[in-house]
Structure 1
Amino acid sequence: HEIVKNLLKYNYPGRIFPVNPKAEKILGLKCYPSILEVEEDVDLGVIAVPARIVLKVAEEAGEKGLKGLIAISAGFKEVGLEGARRERELVKICRKYGMRLLGPNCLGLINTSTPINASFAPQMPNKGGIAFASQSGALCTAILDWAVREGVGFSNLISLGNMADMDETDFMELLAEDPTTKVILIYVEGIKDGRKFLEVSPKVSRLKPVVILKSGVSDAGAKAAASHTGSIAGSRVAYEAAFRKCGVLQVNSIKELFNLGIAFSSQSLPQGRNVSVITNAGGPSIVAADACYKYGLNMTWLSPKTVEKLRSGLPEEASWTNPIDVLGDAPAERYRFALETVLPDEFVDSIIVILTPQAMTQPLETAKYIVALNAKFPKKPLIAVFMGGEKIENAVNFLKDAGIPVYPSPEDAASTLAGMAKYYDILNQKIEGEFPILNVDRETVRRIIERAKRERRASLLSIEARQVAKSYGIPVPESELAQNVRQAVKAAQKIGYPVAMKVVSPQILHKTDIGGVKLNLKSDRDVVIAFNEIIRNANLLMPDARILGVEVQKMVPTGREMIIGMNRDVQFGPLIMFGLGGIYVNILKDVSFRLAPVSIQEASEMIAETKAYALLRGIRGEPTADINAVLDAILRVSQLSMDFEEISEIDINPLFVYERNKGVLALDVKITIT
């Protein structure tokens, strides 16, 4: 009844066929006992019945030849195993008949240009350029209520629900082609198909800004998301890496999401990060300057011509440089003069106008000048910060109605401009990164992994893991496996003293803890003693372990200790890590991440983002390290992870990095397989 009411109330232009076996009419429209009884062709069906009969209704819709369904009904995978089974059956029915499905467990959808309100939401927003897709139906209704009050315009509101068929990526692709949509906002608890998202979203983000609020980033949030919509939550860093790789803007709050939505839908993109602030109060301008610094914006210098004009037109006590303080007694005309002087300045990319209500302030008249000058200089975004309450209310409403973003604090304005500037940077980046052609030995790696699988091992032996690294061009110390004392001595003589020796066993992961490692052995006698001690310690402390022998390894000079790792994320695939290595990696957590495949540019960014970069460049007179060799190792780990899906984890720690042109050495390599 409510859905039919909304369709009628908001003037849906098509035919409406209510279906209910217990009614003859609904709101004056003829009611049908079944969709199969409708004489005309039907395009879209909205299902709002108990979950137990949804499958029957969907089957009839398919027989009728419908192209799409909106399943508002709850009681599917969000409630447990039986619900999940029912949801799978619903998808099977839709695929059998070639129907697309929104939901189930959703609110429905709204399109303001058709117009259609096929939802339980009792209101219809104004027309506008914001499209909002949400996995939470309740958030849709809350945002809709807010939008009606604030006069914010939308092109589409879509409640995604359980995303049994159509998901956030499908709608992102559709909205990219919608001429009424200027910006796509999405709230998700989990991306349904990570690899599809990675394929589609970079193309969409080149056409329109895509801004995502991802919840469930904490353990508590992830648990709540799983119980709410049955989402599979990938790791927080994997989502961040995915959004970065795809050119998607990620925000941390609903406020940020819609601050950006309003700005993107009403203002041009800034052509850089240079900001000018015009204010009638010193305190807020300082807050604005701090906020600009925090969010990576530049409080730009003004051109001499602009400064001279401001000096001649403003009171002597005013500030003529950035931030421009027009003083507390500034009438609207003084704001107009300052704005009209600064807007043409070639060094200014965007402007924040701050107004606080004081005795001489004219908020509404000032707002009118802001609107007029924004129209005169449409290529430079203009953000208003009107601070106060009752005295500025009319002016704020005037700005909103005219499409000027207006916020209550300088922090909101700076954060929003920073997001817009970031999107400008995204558009000016290369679509495809540069990926080198690497000479690797895949066949050797394949044999090693197959042997481990046959032996039902979840991880490679250390000597195998280093062989894998070596096969992919990552330098490792020379080593050999010795199964008796004689072989150990022979290996040490061949490699050259000094050497290290380590127990080799699938069951012994932490070799040092059981006395399974001996370092800096300088003679045959040292090797004999070490071999016997290692075997004795292993048999004594881990009697059930299968001892395959002892690895004899060349002792190498110490380098700067880094780490390169890979973890195969459940949603997005291989997640590559680089950072400061050694024993402090889990404490300092100085690491950066990218999703594979990692381009040359991305690998360079990974290195530069860490504090470890300063160590590699050299501090206190140290020579510069071989950063190019580090970059090459990152690219090779990325390639290895793409070539072998069986590898679930890689951990190279430490990676010794030597002086420029002297390379790197993967001292310890751990590889886990599935």
Structure 2
Amino acid sequence: MAGLDFLFAPSSVAVIGASRHAGKVGYSVFRNIISSNFPGKVYPINPSADEILGHKAYKSILDVNDNIDLAIVTVPAELVLRVAEECGQKRVKGMVVISAGFKESGRRGAELERILVEKSRKYNFRILGPNCLGFIDTFTPINASFASGSPLRGNIGFASQSGAILTGVLEWSLEEGIGFSKVISLGNKSDLNEADTIEALASDSHTKVILLYLEGVEDGVRFFEVARKASRMKPIVVLKSGVSSAGARAASSHTGALAGSDKAYSTAFNQIGILRAHNIEELFNYGITFSLQNIPKINAVAIITNAGGPGIIATDKCEEEGLPLARFEPETIEKLRSNLPKEASIYNPVDILGDAQEDRYRFALETVLSDSNVGHVLIILTPQAMTRPQKIAEAIVEVSGRHREKAVVASFIGGESVREASKTLMSNNLPCFDFPERGVKAIAGLVKFAEFMRREPDLEIPVFQVDKNKVNEIFTNVYKDNRVVLLGDEAAAVARAYGIPTPEVKLARSLEEAVEIAESIGYPLVMKVASPHIIHKTDIGGVIMNLENKDEVSEAYYTILSNVLRYFPSSQIYGILVQQMVPQGKEIIIGMTRDLTWGPMVGVGLGGIYVNLFEDVSFKISPFSRKEAFDMLSKTKAYRLLKGMRGEKPSDIDSVIDVILRVSQLSRDFRIINEMDINPLFAYEKGCSALDVKITLEKGK
């Protein structure tokens, strides 16, 4: 926590804008700090007050005859810059700017925020906010926020970009008995952002799980690096809003169209090891479960229920989440058969019947938890006339306490009759949910994190010998020609400079040149129109294949020009590409699109005409290791095709992975590449060949 000690463990705090009037933000913040039993010194700053809530008030932070670690600012936005200047002169270590009216309010506010950040850099202090709720640390303790109350002490660290969500969650948590270690309102993230938060919470001994609500990520590269390290230390769960593709930038390539902004976030989170929640309920289902349970070594789930319907629902949800149901050992089945009523179901899910009392629950849970094939147990209760939920909860607590290495999650379905029993479970570190689907989802989170932790981290990034000078020369010429889209021969030359095999291809600017090139390359040939404006050349008759002699070359030359002029009469044509024909192989697409947040995102999947039909593309954020490249490929239908189907010989998967890694390196070496497609890449038993390469550069370079 050393990096943010000034925030979470300050020796002295000044509240600039502290107020004597209840209902004012400055009053709430100052009162909360005092009420939280903060052990340090607190100084209210208000030019028109002598005393606030029993504390001497000061006209300016400069009037305080003491060092100030942290300033909490609640004054109007137009006064914040003057306050920041005074804080800088006072050598504060940090400012929490609660005031609104900055970049969230428009151009003028954005300029105020820019100058505020400049001042923080000039005087070397950090800023949380502006436009934030503040923060809470339940262990220091300090409540430097204007929330309506203080949360319970716990081991969940929660940071939110939305103050409204944060206040709602805090009130709900008090009702549910859920505790937090730290609560942080990020606001506009002018300086401190989600990466700083993760870094701090990862090193915090009081935090067991990190929860984030985000609307966006400020610095994708830093977030990726910080979160990748942190996720090896403790679970990180993120609820990211704004999942629609409406705001995603238009993409001209297949890879770009398939990637989309939200896809990039999911790709990054999966790669980092972040668990993604899809709503607030799910975020806290995961948070509660991680905060209360350890991570079992076995994935398999057993279900114990006193009603058939909920057991079936839970079983279906396990299948939906990809959770394996445990196969009981023969001795487990025999023990259940011998001791449960004959009407009971002794297989998984175990139905102990509606009249089950605490003894039957105790026996079933002890028996199932003792089975070496079981890692997690979902235990379901529906209240019947004879059910004693509190006694059953106590039995579950007793048995689970003897099996700490396994996860027990409960679902007590009902209202008032199960409320106290649910609280008993929660207070004894046993997550309890109102419906079985929520319990299964929580177990799925434990399993996903366990699988991530079992993966050996492979951070060795391959670096190939390449010809950067050649690529630089090509890109320079493209820009000189006032283009951003490379012609086919240029794109192929870039690929070859990075060791990606392509058929020989040359640009013909006349019929005579086309025939001359054809004779030098040799037959058979394919000819294509060379125009940066025509993406789908085949659709308009811009590609003719299997040309066997110069007469066919001549005919194809005029046919292609005629077809293009018919469909795109105003498009600029640079000539006709004459390309060597190569044998048919398995068609793969490998591409890259540069995401605005995460940088280069490389994809692989089924190529050719199947790209848009199946949308079978898996992505990784560059850079990544060879092992990660294989993992990306293995998640696609293309991988099954490459392995060989129905007696076919397998293709050269290693050569395909080489191309993936070379595209990844190219995308990092040249940040001016916006998009790249190799479609198709023909994969053979030995080697591969990039038939069609498309590259689009950044504008204005």
Report the TM-score when normalising by structure 2.
Answer: 0.91
Residues 368-423 of structure 1, C-alpha deviations (whole Å, 9 max, x = no match)? 11112222221111101101112212211222222210011221111111111111
Q: Secondary structure at the match of 2:85?
A: helix
Q: Say if 2:404 is the partner of 1:375.
A: no
Q: Say if 2:689 is the partner of 1:665.
A: yes
Give me the whole-angstrom Cα distance separating, in 2, the residues matched to 1:529 and 1:611: 39
Q: 2:633 aligns with which of 607, 614, 627?
A: 607
Matching residue of 1:228: none
Give me the whole-angstrom Cα distance separating, in 2, the residues matched to 1:59 and 1:21: 16
Q: 1:350 aligns with which of 376, 389, 397?
A: 376
Q: Aligned runs of 1:523-562 on 2, under 5 Å? A: 523-535=549-561, 547-562=573-588
Q: Secondary structure at the match of 1:582?
A: coil
Q: Aligned runs of 1:295-444 on 2, under 5 Å? A: 295-444=321-470
Amino acid at match of 1:193: D
Relative distance call for 1:284 and 1:39 in structure 2 (3 A) is same
- Once the 2 structures are TM-superposed, how far is the Cα of residue 251 of structure 1 from its aligned partner? 1.2
Tell me if the contact between 1:575 and 1:594 (Cα under 8 Å) persists in the aligned partners: yes
Tell me if the contact between 2:458 and 2:627 (Cα under 8 Å) persists in the aligned partners: no
Q: Aligned runs of 1:96-175 on 2, under 5 Å? A: 96-175=122-201
Tell me if the contact between 2:463 and 2:665 (Cα under 8 Å) persists in the aligned partners: no
Give me the whole-angstrom Cα distance separating, in 1, the residues matched to 2:247 and 2:673: 29
Q: Aligned runs of 1:512-531 on 2, under 5 Å? A: 512=538, 515-531=541-557
- Once the 2 structures are TM-superposed, how far is the Cα of residue 535 of structure 1 from its aligned partner? 4.9
Q: 1:292 aligns with which of 318, 321, 324?
A: 318
Give me the whole-angstrom Cα distance separating, in 1, the residues matched to 2:360 and 2:540: 78
- Once the 2 structures are TM-superposed, how far is the Cα of residue 221 of structure 1 from its aligned partner? 8.1
Give me the whole-angstrom Cα distance separating, in 1, the residues matched to 2:569 and 2:120: 58
Q: Aligned runs of 1:431-580 on 2, under 5 Å? A: 431-506=457-532, 508-509=534-535, 511-512=537-538, 515-535=541-561, 547-580=573-606
Tell me if the contact between 1:386 and 1:392 (Cα under 8 Å) persists in the aligned partners: yes
Q: Secondary structure at the match of 1:2?
A: helix
- Once the 2 structures are TM-superposed, how far is the Cα of residue 615 of structure 1 from its aligned partner? 2.8
Relative distance call for 1:606 and 1:11 in structure 2 (3 A) is same
Residues 213-259 of structure 1, C-alpha deviations (whole Å, 9 max, x = no match)? 11111146889xxxxxxxxx981111111111211111111111111
Relative distance call for 1:234 and 1:62 in structure 2 (3 A) is farther
Moved more, 595-604 or 153-162: 595-604
Q: Say if 2:49 is the partner of 1:23.
A: yes
Give me the whole-angstrom Cα distance separating, in 2, the residues matched to 1:368 and 1:318: 23
Give me the whole-angstrom Cα distance separating, in 2, the residues matched to 1:545 and 1:512: 16
Relative distance call for 1:318 and 1:514 in structure 2 (3 A) is closer
Q: Secondary structure at the match of 2:493?
A: helix
- Once the 2 structures are TM-superposed, how far is the Cα of residue 310 of structure 1 from its aligned partner? 2.1
- Once the 2 structures are TM-superposed, how far is the Cα of residue 187 of structure 1 from its aligned partner? 0.5
Amino acid at match of 2:512: R
Give me the whole-angstrom Cα distance separating, in 2, the residues matched to 1:485 and 1:89: 62
Q: Aligned runs of 1:198-217 on 2, under 5 Å? A: 198-217=224-243
Give me the whole-angstrom Cα distance separating, in 2, the residues matched to 1:16 and 1:152: 28
Q: Secondary structure at the match of 1:17?
A: strand
- Once the 2 structures are TM-superposed, how far is the Cα of residue 81 of structure 1 from its aligned partner? 1.2
Tell me if the contact between 2:212 and 2:238 (Cα under 8 Å) persists in the aligned partners: yes
Relative distance call for 1:543 and 1:285 in structure 2 (3 A) is closer
Amino acid at match of 1:73: S
Q: Secondary structure at the match of 2:286?
A: helix
Amino acid at match of 2:81: L
Matching residue of 2:643: 617
Q: Secondary structure at the match of 2:196?
A: helix
Tell me if the contact between 2:377 and 2:407 (Cα under 8 Å) persists in the aligned partners: yes
Relative distance call for 1:267 and 1:513 in structure 2 (3 A) is closer
Moved more, 523-532 or 54-63: 523-532
Tell me if the contact between 2:675 and 2:697 (Cα under 8 Å) persists in the aligned partners: yes
Moved more, 528-537 or 561-570: 528-537
Q: 2:265 aligns with which of 217, 226, 239?
A: 239
Q: Say if 2:620 is the partner of 1:591.
A: no
Relative distance call for 1:72 and 1:339 in structure 2 (3 A) is same
Residues 529-587 of structure 1, C-alpha deviations (whole Å, 9 max, x = no match)? 33344456667876765544322112233333221110011111100111122234234
Matching residue of 1:226: none
- Computed over aligned residues only, the root mean square deviation of the Cα atoms, in angstroms, reads 2.1
Q: Say if 2:301 is the partner of 1:275.
A: yes
Amino acid at match of 1:603: A
- Once the 2 structures are TM-superposed, how far is the Cα of residue 93 of structure 1 from its aligned partner? 1.0
Residues 140-164 of structure 1, C-alpha deviations (whole Å, 9 max, x = no match)? 1000000011110110110000000
Matching residue of 2:83: 57
Q: Secondary structure at the match of 2:341?
A: coil
Residues 166-225 of structure 1, C-alpha deviations (whole Å, 9 max, x = no match)? 0011011111111111100000000110000111111111111111111111146889xx
Tell me if the contact between 2:70 and 2:95 (Cα under 8 Å) persists in the aligned partners: yes
Matching residue of 2:655: 629
Q: Say if 2:48 is the partner of 1:34.
A: no
Amino acid at match of 1:666: A
Tell me if the contact between 1:215 and 1:222 (Cα under 8 Å) persists in the aligned partners: no
Q: Secondary structure at the match of 2:71?
A: strand
Moved more, 469-478 or 214-223: 214-223
Tell me if the contact between 2:245 and 2:260 (Cα under 8 Å) persists in the aligned partners: no
Amino acid at match of 1:274: A
Report the TM-score when normalising by structure 1.
Answer: 0.94
Tell me if the contact between 1:234 and 1:570 (Cα under 8 Å) persists in the aligned partners: no
Give me the whole-angstrom Cα distance separating, in 1, the residues matched to 2:569 and 2:35: 78
Relative distance call for 1:155 and 1:553 in structure 2 (3 A) is same
Give me the whole-angstrom Cα distance separating, in 2, the residues matched to 1:70 and 1:127: 22
- Once the 2 structures are TM-superposed, how far is the Cα of residue 522 of structure 1 from its aligned partner? 1.7
Q: Secondary structure at the match of 1:328?
A: coil
Amino acid at match of 1:486: E
Q: Secondary structure at the match of 1:298?
A: coil
Give me the whole-angstrom Cα distance separating, in 2, the residues matched to 1:507 and 1:590: 26
Tell me if the contact between 1:190 and 1:234 (Cα under 8 Å) persists in the aligned partners: no
Relative distance call for 1:139 and 1:539 in structure 2 (3 A) is closer
Q: State the identity as a percent.
A: 51
Relative distance call for 1:376 and 1:532 in structure 2 (3 A) is closer
Amino acid at match of 2:452: I
- Once the 2 structures are TM-superposed, how far is the Cα of residue 88 of structure 1 from its aligned partner? 0.7
Tell me if the contact between 2:298 and 2:373 (Cα under 8 Å) persists in the aligned partners: no
- Once the 2 structures are TM-superposed, how far is the Cα of residue 620 of structure 1 from its aligned partner? 4.0
Residues 30-76 of structure 1, C-alpha deviations (whole Å, 9 max, x = no match)? 11111111112211111001111011111111111211111000111
Matching residue of 1:227: none
